[in-house]
Amino acid sequence: MGFGALLEPVKHNSDFHCPPLRSEGPALSSLPQLPSERSRASKDPLQQELHDKRFSSPPVPALPFSRTDYSPFSSCERTRSALPCRGPARQHYARSQSVSRTSPNLAFVPACLPPDPVEVEELQHFVSNSKRLFVMTGAGISTESGIPDYRSEGVGLYARTDRRPIQHAEFIRSASARQRYWARNFVGWPQFSSHQPNTAHLVLRDWEKLGKLHWLVTQNVDALHTKAGSQRMTELHGCTHRVFCLACGDQILRSELQEHFEALNPTWKAEAFGVAPDGDVFLTDEQVCNFQVPACSKCGGILKPDVTFFGDTVSREKVSFVHERLAESDSMLVAGSSMQVYSGYRFALAAREKQLPIAILNIGPTRLDHFASLKLNSRCGELLPLIVVDDTTS
Ligand SMILES: [Zn+2]
Protein backbone atom coordinates (compact mmCIF):
# COMPACT_ATOMS: atom_id res chain seq x y z
CA MET A 1 0.00 0.00 0.00
CA GLY A 2 1.42 3.39 -0.89
CA PHE A 3 1.06 6.77 0.69
CA GLY A 4 -1.82 7.46 -1.64
CA ALA A 5 -3.95 5.21 0.50
CA LEU A 6 -2.35 6.16 3.78
CA LEU A 7 -2.21 9.91 3.53
CA GLU A 8 -5.23 12.05 3.81
CA PRO A 9 -6.07 13.60 0.45
CA VAL A 10 -6.09 17.37 0.90
CA LYS A 11 -8.09 19.70 -1.30
CA HIS A 12 -6.04 22.80 -1.28
CA ASN A 13 -7.84 25.96 -0.48
CA SER A 14 -7.25 29.04 -2.49
CA ASP A 15 -6.37 31.03 0.63
CA PHE A 16 -2.88 29.63 0.66
CA HIS A 17 -0.67 27.74 -1.75
CA CYS A 18 0.61 24.29 -0.95
CA PRO A 19 2.78 21.91 -2.90
CA PRO A 20 0.99 18.72 -3.85
CA LEU A 21 1.22 15.82 -1.43
CA ARG A 22 3.37 12.86 -2.35
CA SER A 23 1.36 10.06 -3.83
CA GLU A 24 3.86 7.21 -3.72
CA GLY A 25 5.87 5.70 -0.92
CA PRO A 26 6.18 2.82 1.47
CA ALA A 27 3.37 1.76 3.76
CA LEU A 28 3.52 3.10 7.28
CA SER A 29 4.01 -0.37 8.65
CA SER A 30 7.22 -0.75 6.67
CA LEU A 31 8.78 2.58 7.54
CA PRO A 32 12.12 1.93 9.23
CA GLN A 33 11.70 4.83 11.68
CA LEU A 34 8.92 3.06 13.52
CA PRO A 35 10.07 0.72 16.28
CA SER A 36 7.90 -2.18 17.32
CA GLU A 37 4.88 -1.40 19.46
CA ARG A 38 6.28 -3.27 22.43
CA SER A 39 9.62 -1.53 22.47
CA ARG A 40 7.93 1.80 21.91
CA ALA A 41 5.83 1.63 25.03
CA SER A 42 8.66 0.92 27.40
CA LYS A 43 10.15 4.41 27.71
CA ASP A 44 7.70 6.09 30.01
CA PRO A 45 5.97 4.48 33.03
CA LEU A 46 2.54 5.78 32.01
CA GLN A 47 3.02 4.69 28.44
CA GLN A 48 4.21 1.32 29.68
CA GLU A 49 1.12 0.94 31.84
CA LEU A 50 -1.17 1.96 29.03
CA HIS A 51 0.66 -0.34 26.69
CA ASP A 52 0.37 -3.24 29.12
CA LYS A 53 -3.35 -2.65 29.46
CA ARG A 54 -3.76 -2.59 25.75
CA PHE A 55 -1.66 -5.55 24.74
CA SER A 56 -1.33 -7.77 27.80
CA SER A 57 -4.62 -7.64 29.67
CA PRO A 58 -7.45 -10.07 29.07
CA PRO A 59 -10.27 -8.67 26.96
CA VAL A 60 -12.32 -6.05 28.77
CA PRO A 61 -16.05 -6.84 28.94
CA ALA A 62 -18.40 -4.86 26.77
CA LEU A 63 -19.09 -1.43 28.14
CA PRO A 64 -22.50 -0.03 28.81
CA PHE A 65 -21.65 3.05 26.78
CA SER A 66 -19.99 4.13 23.60
CA ARG A 67 -17.20 2.37 21.81
CA THR A 68 -15.11 5.47 21.95
CA ASP A 69 -14.70 5.00 25.69
CA TYR A 70 -13.27 1.54 25.20
CA SER A 71 -9.61 2.18 25.46
CA PRO A 72 -6.50 1.43 27.42
CA PHE A 73 -7.15 4.62 29.35
CA SER A 74 -10.72 4.09 30.35
CA SER A 75 -11.55 1.86 33.26
CA CYS A 76 -15.17 2.68 33.99
CA GLU A 77 -16.03 -0.98 33.80
CA ARG A 78 -13.95 -1.88 36.81
CA THR A 79 -15.66 -2.77 40.03
CA ARG A 80 -14.87 -1.58 43.50
CA SER A 81 -13.68 -5.06 44.46
CA ALA A 82 -10.84 -4.69 42.01
CA LEU A 83 -9.53 -1.57 43.67
CA PRO A 84 -6.46 -1.69 45.83
CA CYS A 85 -7.25 -1.08 49.45
CA ARG A 86 -5.74 1.55 51.63
CA GLY A 87 -3.70 0.59 54.64
CA PRO A 88 -4.69 2.89 57.46
CA ALA A 89 -8.32 3.04 58.43
CA ARG A 90 -8.39 6.78 58.48
CA GLN A 91 -6.69 9.09 56.07
CA HIS A 92 -5.97 12.73 56.53
CA TYR A 93 -4.77 15.25 54.06
CA ALA A 94 -2.96 17.96 55.92
CA ARG A 95 -1.98 21.14 54.21
CA SER A 96 1.70 20.29 54.62
CA GLN A 97 1.22 16.92 52.92
CA SER A 98 -0.52 18.45 49.97
CA VAL A 99 2.18 21.01 49.42
CA SER A 100 4.82 18.32 49.35
CA ARG A 101 2.92 16.22 46.82
CA THR A 102 3.15 18.54 43.87
CA SER A 103 4.23 22.07 43.24
CA PRO A 104 1.36 23.82 41.48
CA ASN A 105 2.01 25.82 38.35
CA LEU A 106 -0.11 28.92 38.89
CA ALA A 107 0.49 30.74 35.59
CA PHE A 108 -2.96 29.80 34.30
CA VAL A 109 -4.82 29.87 37.62
CA PRO A 110 -7.05 32.89 38.19
CA ALA A 111 -6.21 34.98 41.23
CA CYS A 112 -8.13 34.01 44.34
CA LEU A 113 -7.95 34.32 48.10
CA PRO A 114 -6.69 31.48 50.28
CA PRO A 115 -9.47 29.15 51.47
CA ASP A 116 -11.68 30.70 54.12
CA PRO A 117 -11.63 28.45 57.25
CA VAL A 118 -15.39 28.74 57.56
CA GLU A 119 -15.85 27.62 53.96
CA VAL A 120 -13.43 24.76 54.48
CA GLU A 121 -15.58 23.66 57.40
CA GLU A 122 -18.68 23.86 55.24
CA LEU A 123 -17.13 21.75 52.50
CA GLN A 124 -15.88 19.31 55.14
CA HIS A 125 -19.42 19.00 56.43
CA PHE A 126 -20.72 18.51 52.89
CA VAL A 127 -18.20 15.77 52.09
CA SER A 128 -18.60 14.06 55.48
CA ASN A 129 -22.35 13.86 54.98
CA SER A 130 -21.95 12.29 51.56
CA LYS A 131 -21.72 8.56 51.31
CA ARG A 132 -21.66 8.30 47.52
CA LEU A 133 -20.20 11.43 46.07
CA PHE A 134 -20.57 12.21 42.38
CA VAL A 135 -17.76 14.52 41.25
CA MET A 136 -17.61 16.48 38.03
CA THR A 137 -14.38 18.21 37.03
CA GLY A 138 -13.47 20.70 34.33
CA ALA A 139 -10.50 22.64 33.01
CA GLY A 140 -10.12 24.49 36.30
CA ILE A 141 -8.74 21.39 37.99
CA SER A 142 -5.96 21.10 35.40
CA THR A 143 -4.81 24.72 35.40
CA GLU A 144 -2.61 23.93 38.40
CA SER A 145 -0.89 21.34 36.20
CA GLY A 146 0.03 24.13 33.78
CA ILE A 147 -2.78 23.62 31.26
CA PRO A 148 -4.69 26.82 30.48
CA ASP A 149 -8.48 26.72 30.40
CA TYR A 150 -10.61 28.54 27.88
CA ARG A 151 -12.80 30.78 29.96
CA SER A 152 -11.07 32.01 33.10
CA GLU A 153 -10.98 35.75 33.42
CA GLY A 154 -7.59 37.20 32.48
CA VAL A 155 -5.70 33.92 32.15
CA GLY A 156 -7.98 31.71 30.02
CA LEU A 157 -7.27 31.34 26.31
CA TYR A 158 -10.41 33.26 25.36
CA ALA A 159 -9.18 36.20 27.40
CA ARG A 160 -5.56 36.08 26.22
CA THR A 161 -5.94 35.16 22.58
CA ASP A 162 -8.38 34.98 19.70
CA ARG A 163 -7.99 31.22 19.64
CA ARG A 164 -11.12 29.14 19.42
CA PRO A 165 -11.22 25.33 19.40
CA ILE A 166 -11.89 23.49 16.18
CA GLN A 167 -15.51 22.75 15.38
CA HIS A 168 -16.58 19.18 14.78
CA ALA A 169 -18.22 19.90 11.42
CA GLU A 170 -15.14 21.71 10.20
CA PHE A 171 -12.90 18.78 11.09
CA ILE A 172 -15.18 16.30 9.33
CA ARG A 173 -15.76 18.45 6.26
CA SER A 174 -12.38 19.95 5.50
CA ALA A 175 -9.17 18.06 4.79
CA SER A 176 -7.17 21.26 5.07
CA ALA A 177 -8.76 21.97 8.46
CA ARG A 178 -7.67 18.52 9.58
CA GLN A 179 -4.19 19.15 8.22
CA ARG A 180 -4.03 22.37 10.22
CA TYR A 181 -5.40 20.67 13.31
CA TRP A 182 -2.93 17.78 13.18
CA ALA A 183 0.07 19.96 12.32
CA ARG A 184 -0.59 22.09 15.38
CA ASN A 185 -1.44 19.06 17.48
CA PHE A 186 1.79 17.37 16.39
CA VAL A 187 3.83 20.32 17.60
CA GLY A 188 1.93 20.67 20.84
CA TRP A 189 1.82 16.99 21.72
CA PRO A 190 5.19 16.55 23.45
CA GLN A 191 4.42 19.37 25.86
CA PHE A 192 0.71 18.68 26.25
CA SER A 193 1.19 14.98 26.89
CA SER A 194 3.88 15.62 29.48
CA HIS A 195 1.60 17.42 31.97
CA GLN A 196 1.23 15.67 35.27
CA PRO A 197 -1.70 15.43 37.68
CA ASN A 198 -1.68 17.92 40.53
CA THR A 199 -2.73 17.57 44.15
CA ALA A 200 -6.43 17.88 43.32
CA HIS A 201 -6.31 14.93 40.94
CA LEU A 202 -4.47 12.88 43.54
CA VAL A 203 -6.96 13.76 46.29
CA LEU A 204 -9.90 12.66 44.13
CA ARG A 205 -8.11 9.44 43.32
CA ASP A 206 -7.66 8.84 47.05
CA TRP A 207 -11.31 9.64 47.79
CA GLU A 208 -12.17 6.89 45.34
CA LYS A 209 -9.90 4.43 47.10
CA LEU A 210 -11.39 5.41 50.44
CA GLY A 211 -14.90 4.69 49.20
CA LYS A 212 -16.03 8.32 49.37
CA LEU A 213 -16.17 9.07 45.65
CA HIS A 214 -18.80 7.02 43.87
CA TRP A 215 -18.14 8.27 40.35
CA LEU A 216 -15.99 10.87 38.67
CA VAL A 217 -16.98 12.55 35.44
CA THR A 218 -14.41 14.79 33.82
CA GLN A 219 -14.97 17.19 30.97
CA ASN A 220 -11.21 17.32 30.44
CA VAL A 221 -9.41 15.50 27.67
CA ASP A 222 -5.93 15.68 29.21
CA ALA A 223 -5.77 12.19 30.84
CA LEU A 224 -4.64 13.71 34.14
CA HIS A 225 -7.23 11.79 36.20
CA THR A 226 -6.06 8.61 34.50
CA LYS A 227 -2.45 9.49 35.19
CA ALA A 228 -3.40 10.07 38.84
CA GLY A 229 -4.91 6.59 38.97
CA SER A 230 -8.66 7.29 39.04
CA GLN A 231 -10.64 4.30 37.85
CA ARG A 232 -14.30 4.92 38.61
CA MET A 233 -14.41 7.58 35.97
CA THR A 234 -16.01 8.65 32.72
CA GLU A 235 -14.21 10.98 30.34
CA LEU A 236 -17.27 12.79 29.10
CA HIS A 237 -15.55 14.39 26.13
CA GLY A 238 -13.05 11.62 25.45
CA CYS A 239 -9.30 11.86 25.71
CA THR A 240 -6.58 13.32 23.50
CA HIS A 241 -4.37 10.32 24.24
CA ARG A 242 -6.51 8.15 21.98
CA VAL A 243 -7.13 8.37 18.24
CA PHE A 244 -9.62 6.43 16.19
CA CYS A 245 -10.55 5.94 12.55
CA LEU A 246 -13.83 7.50 11.50
CA ALA A 247 -14.34 4.74 8.89
CA CYS A 248 -13.41 1.45 10.57
CA GLY A 249 -13.24 2.49 14.22
CA ASP A 250 -9.71 1.19 14.73
CA GLN A 251 -8.21 2.84 17.78
CA ILE A 252 -4.57 3.68 18.42
CA LEU A 253 -2.63 5.55 21.04
CA ARG A 254 -1.96 9.17 20.25
CA SER A 255 1.71 8.50 21.03
CA GLU A 256 1.82 5.97 18.20
CA LEU A 257 0.43 8.53 15.81
CA GLN A 258 3.18 10.92 16.85
CA GLU A 259 5.71 8.45 15.51
CA HIS A 260 3.79 8.18 12.24
CA PHE A 261 3.86 11.97 11.99
CA GLU A 262 7.58 12.05 12.64
CA ALA A 263 8.21 9.38 10.01
CA LEU A 264 6.15 11.23 7.41
CA ASN A 265 7.52 14.67 8.22
CA PRO A 266 11.23 14.17 8.88
CA THR A 267 12.26 17.66 7.89
CA TRP A 268 9.19 19.54 8.96
CA LYS A 269 10.05 22.05 11.63
CA ALA A 270 7.82 24.27 13.64
CA GLU A 271 7.74 25.73 17.07
CA ALA A 272 4.89 25.70 19.50
CA PHE A 273 3.54 29.05 20.65
CA GLY A 274 1.30 28.34 23.60
CA VAL A 275 -0.49 25.05 23.98
CA ALA A 276 -4.29 25.09 24.25
CA PRO A 277 -6.36 22.74 26.45
CA ASP A 278 -6.82 20.43 23.49
CA GLY A 279 -3.11 20.29 22.67
CA ASP A 280 -3.39 22.77 19.83
CA VAL A 281 -0.77 25.44 19.05
CA PHE A 282 -0.32 28.32 16.66
CA LEU A 283 1.20 27.79 13.21
CA THR A 284 1.24 29.77 9.99
CA ASP A 285 -0.54 28.52 6.87
CA GLU A 286 2.83 28.09 5.19
CA GLN A 287 3.99 25.79 7.94
CA VAL A 288 0.74 23.84 7.94
CA CYS A 289 0.47 23.19 4.24
CA ASN A 290 3.66 21.15 4.11
CA PHE A 291 2.56 18.85 6.89
CA GLN A 292 1.76 15.25 5.90
CA VAL A 293 -1.21 13.64 7.66
CA PRO A 294 -1.41 9.85 7.78
CA ALA A 295 -4.70 8.08 7.22
CA CYS A 296 -5.81 4.92 9.02
CA SER A 297 -3.25 2.17 8.45
CA LYS A 298 -6.06 -0.40 8.34
CA CYS A 299 -8.47 1.13 5.87
CA GLY A 300 -7.18 4.53 4.75
CA GLY A 301 -9.94 6.32 6.65
CA ILE A 302 -9.75 9.66 8.43
CA LEU A 303 -8.11 9.69 11.85
CA LYS A 304 -9.69 11.75 14.59
CA PRO A 305 -8.75 12.27 18.21
CA ASP A 306 -11.14 10.47 20.53
CA VAL A 307 -12.42 13.82 21.66
CA THR A 308 -15.84 15.42 21.43
CA PHE A 309 -15.13 18.61 19.56
CA PHE A 310 -17.24 21.70 19.97
CA GLY A 311 -20.38 21.29 17.91
CA ASP A 312 -20.46 17.52 18.38
CA THR A 313 -22.54 15.66 20.95
CA VAL A 314 -21.69 13.09 23.58
CA SER A 315 -23.11 9.68 22.69
CA ARG A 316 -26.51 8.78 24.09
CA GLU A 317 -25.07 5.63 25.67
CA LYS A 318 -22.44 7.54 27.55
CA VAL A 319 -24.93 10.15 28.74
CA SER A 320 -27.30 7.53 30.10
CA PHE A 321 -24.43 5.66 31.73
CA VAL A 322 -23.46 8.81 33.61
CA HIS A 323 -27.09 9.46 34.56
CA GLU A 324 -27.18 5.98 36.08
CA ARG A 325 -24.07 6.68 38.13
CA LEU A 326 -25.58 9.97 39.24
CA ALA A 327 -28.78 8.19 40.27
CA GLU A 328 -26.69 5.97 42.55
CA SER A 329 -25.07 9.00 44.18
CA ASP A 330 -26.25 11.11 47.10
CA SER A 331 -24.51 14.41 46.40
CA MET A 332 -22.62 16.24 43.68
CA LEU A 333 -19.37 18.17 43.80
CA VAL A 334 -18.30 20.31 40.85
CA ALA A 335 -14.57 21.05 40.87
CA GLY A 336 -12.94 23.49 38.47
CA SER A 337 -15.75 24.06 36.02
CA SER A 338 -18.02 26.96 35.20
CA MET A 339 -20.37 24.37 33.66
CA GLN A 340 -21.02 26.54 30.62
CA VAL A 341 -21.14 23.54 28.29
CA TYR A 342 -24.49 21.80 28.29
CA SER A 343 -23.07 18.27 28.00
CA GLY A 344 -21.88 18.58 31.58
CA TYR A 345 -24.46 21.05 32.85
CA ARG A 346 -27.29 18.60 32.19
CA PHE A 347 -26.00 16.40 35.03
CA ALA A 348 -26.20 19.32 37.43
CA LEU A 349 -29.78 19.85 36.29
CA ALA A 350 -30.47 16.17 36.92
CA ALA A 351 -28.91 16.44 40.38
CA ARG A 352 -31.14 19.41 41.15
CA GLU A 353 -34.13 17.45 39.89
CA LYS A 354 -33.24 14.69 42.35
CA GLN A 355 -32.77 17.32 45.06
CA LEU A 356 -29.19 16.25 45.67
CA PRO A 357 -27.03 18.70 47.56
CA ILE A 358 -24.55 20.35 45.19
CA ALA A 359 -21.25 21.95 46.12
CA ILE A 360 -19.15 23.97 43.70
CA LEU A 361 -15.44 24.59 43.95
CA ASN A 362 -14.50 27.00 41.20
CA ILE A 363 -12.73 30.32 40.89
CA GLY A 364 -15.35 32.58 39.33
CA PRO A 365 -19.07 32.28 38.68
CA THR A 366 -20.69 29.13 37.34
CA ARG A 367 -23.94 28.33 35.61
CA LEU A 368 -25.35 26.64 38.72
CA ASP A 369 -24.38 29.08 41.45
CA HIS A 370 -28.05 29.93 42.00
CA PHE A 371 -29.05 26.39 42.92
CA ALA A 372 -25.93 25.06 44.62
CA SER A 373 -25.90 24.38 48.35
CA LEU A 374 -22.34 25.59 48.62
CA LYS A 375 -20.06 27.69 46.44
CA LEU A 376 -16.36 28.15 47.13
CA ASN A 377 -13.97 30.35 45.15
CA SER A 378 -10.73 28.51 45.81
CA ARG A 379 -8.06 26.57 44.02
CA CYS A 380 -8.94 22.89 43.84
CA GLY A 381 -5.39 21.87 44.69
CA GLU A 382 -5.36 24.12 47.73
CA LEU A 383 -8.76 23.33 49.20
CA LEU A 384 -9.43 19.66 48.48
CA PRO A 385 -6.37 18.44 50.43
CA LEU A 386 -7.76 20.16 53.53
CA ILE A 387 -10.81 17.89 53.60
CA VAL A 388 -10.55 14.89 55.89
CA VAL A 389 -12.04 11.69 54.50
CA ASP A 390 -12.58 8.47 56.42
CA ASP A 391 -11.87 5.10 54.88
CA THR A 392 -15.24 3.43 54.38
CA THR A 393 -13.89 0.41 52.56
CA SER A 394 -12.72 -1.52 55.63
ZN1 LIG B 1 -9.75 2.63 9.44
**pLDDT of 157-202, one tens digit each?**
555 555 667 899 999 999 999 999 999 889 889 888 999 999 999 9
Whether the full predicted model's pTM is greater than 0.85, yes or no, is no
Domain that holds residue 255: 1-32+155-194+243-307
Note the pLDDT of residue 274: 62
CA of 246 to the centre of ligand 1 (A): 7
Same-domain pairing of 92 and 127 = yes
Same-domain pairing of 342 and 393 = yes
Note the pLDDT of residue 276: 65
The SS3 call for residue 322 is helix
CA of 47 to the centre of ligand 1 (A): 23
Q: Which residues of 198-224 are buried (b: 16+ CB within 10 A; e: fewer)?
A: bbbbbbbbbbbbbbbbbbbbbbbbbbb
Highest mean pLDDT among 14-23, 36-45, 145-154, 371-380: 371-380
Average pLDDT over residues 31-40: 32
At 270, the pLDDT band (50, 70, 90 cuts) reads low
Q: Cα–Cα distance between 200 and 279 in angstroms, integer?
A: 21
Q: Cα–Cα distance between 9 and 215 in angstroms, integer?
A: 42
Note the pLDDT of residue 246: 97
The pLDDT tens digits for 65-90 are 332 332 333 433 322 222 222 333 23
Q: How many domains does the chain have?
A: 2
Note the pLDDT of residue 159: 55
Q: Which of 307, 335, 350 is the last residue of a domain?
A: 307
Q: Cα–Cα distance between 386 and 371 in angstroms, integer?
A: 25
Note the pLDDT of residue 277: 65
Give a yes or no: residue 68 inside a domain: no
The region, left, alpha or beta by phi > 0 then psi within -120 to 50, assigned to residue 279 is left
Would you say residue 60 has pLDDT above 80?
no
Give a yes or no: residue 217 inside a domain: yes
Same-domain pairing of 91 and 143 = yes
CA of 243 to the centre of ligand 1 (A): 11
Give a yes or no: residue 290 inside a domain: yes
Give a yes or no: residue 63 inside a domain: no
- The identity of residue 339, as a single letter, is M
Same-domain pairing of 202 and 170 = no
Would you say residue 388 has pLDDT above 90?
yes
Give a yes or no: residue 53 inside a domain: no
Same-domain pairing of 286 and 358 = no
The pLDDT tens digits for 317-326 are 999 999 999 9
CA of 301 to the centre of ligand 1 (A): 5
Neighbours of ion ligand 1 (CB under 5 A): 245, 247-248, 250, 296, 298-299, 301
- The identity of residue 177, as a single letter, is A
Same-domain pairing of 338 and 392 = yes
Note the pLDDT of residue 33: 31
Closest C-alpha to 200, from 132, 139, 111? 139
Closest C-alpha to 364, from 126, 140, 118? 140
Note the helical H segments in 28-150.
Answer: 37-40, 45-55, 95-101, 117-129
CB atoms inside a 10 Å sphere around CB 370: 8
Q: Which of 287, 307, 327 is the last residue of a domain?
A: 307
Q: Cα–Cα distance between 256 and 31 in angstroms, integer?
A: 13
Give a yes or no: residue 254 inside a domain: yes
Q: Which of 267, 290, 307 is the last residue of a domain?
A: 307
Give a yes or no: residue 46 inside a domain: no
Q: Which of 225, 237, 241, 260 is catalytic?
A: 237
CA of 256 to the centre of ligand 1 (A): 15
Closest C-alpha to 361, from 335, 332, 387, 331? 335
Average pLDDT over residues 342-369: 96
Closest C-alpha to 299, from 380, 340, 245? 245
Q: What percent of the chain has pLDDT over 70?
A: 65
Is position 237 annotated as part of the catalytic site?
Answer: yes
